[in-house]
Amino acid sequence: MRKPSLILSASLALTAPAFAVPTEGVDVRAHYTETAVSNLHRMLSVYDAIEKDHGQPTGMKLTVFGTIEPGSEPAGDAHLYLAARSGHIAITRPGDSRFIVPTEPGLIAENPNVMAALAHDEVIDFTGQVALPVTPQNRLPVADLKEWAHKLDDRISDKAGFIAASFIRDTRRAIVDVPPGATLSLDDAGRMTPLVINRGNAAYRYTLDLKHVSKTATLVSDMPIEAMALVLPVQLGEWKR
């Protein structure tokens, strides 16, 4: 069984939540006892593990998403905030799973706890996506994506250590934002394979398995590809009471 290599937090068990009967229009979690589940330093250490190499920017930007289980609710529904001396600082929005982590020097020095409203049997599971610093382009060599995947694997291995890294799968999934009205194809030695025809009004997020694509192939779009990301191949731990 593969062990998680980057641990986002440790749990600090406090008192049990007070349960309420669900009522339409009522925020049941408002009645839960809030619990400290992590702190700002622990969160930032995970971002730094990906975004910095010996203090220098890697060009990669990590986005963390959280889901409350069981139930697959977005982490924002757990009323997550930093308990700073200046007041509560939200790190998610209600109904949203994306984390927004502040980096103000004064707040980092304070290192406030992360508070959450969770039931005794609930956990917040995490996934991550790593945005790549690509410029808008109509042709993107798969070799470039694989090179970025290799750099991401190096950052993970550096933090996990040699032994732990031996049990972690390589980065293999890339996400391509296909613009509205665009067609995304794969050019492999002159053979064109259509991947996505986006007839919608918003960008379509296409996932490409890098392990099943030739290094010499090229992604081709009739409109510039403006956003690319890699799916983090490791678990980021969990938060619970």
- List the domain range (segments joined by +) for residue 166: 130-231
Residues 116 and 158 in one domain: no
**15 in a domain, yes or no?**
no
The band of 116, judged by pLDDT with boundaries at 50, 70 and 90, is: very high
**14 in a domain, yes or no?**
no
Residues 158 and 221 in one domain: yes
Residues 123 and 156 in one domain: no
Residues 172 and 224 in one domain: yes
**97 in a domain, yes or no?**
yes
CA distances to 24, 131, 220 from 217, rounded to whole Å, are 53, 21, 10
Residues 138 and 105 in one domain: no
**3 in a domain, yes or no?**
no
**35 in a domain, yes or no?**
yes
The band of 3, judged by pLDDT with boundaries at 50, 70 and 90, is: very low
The band of 39, judged by pLDDT with boundaries at 50, 70 and 90, is: very high
Summarised one tens digit per residue, pLDDT across range 119-142 is 989 999 999 999 999 899 999 999
Q: How many domains does the chain have?
A: 2
Summarised one tens digit per residue, pLDDT across range 173-213 is 999 999 999 999 999 999 999 999 999 999 999 999 999 99
pLDDT of residue 124: 96
Question: Model pTM?
Answer: 0.83
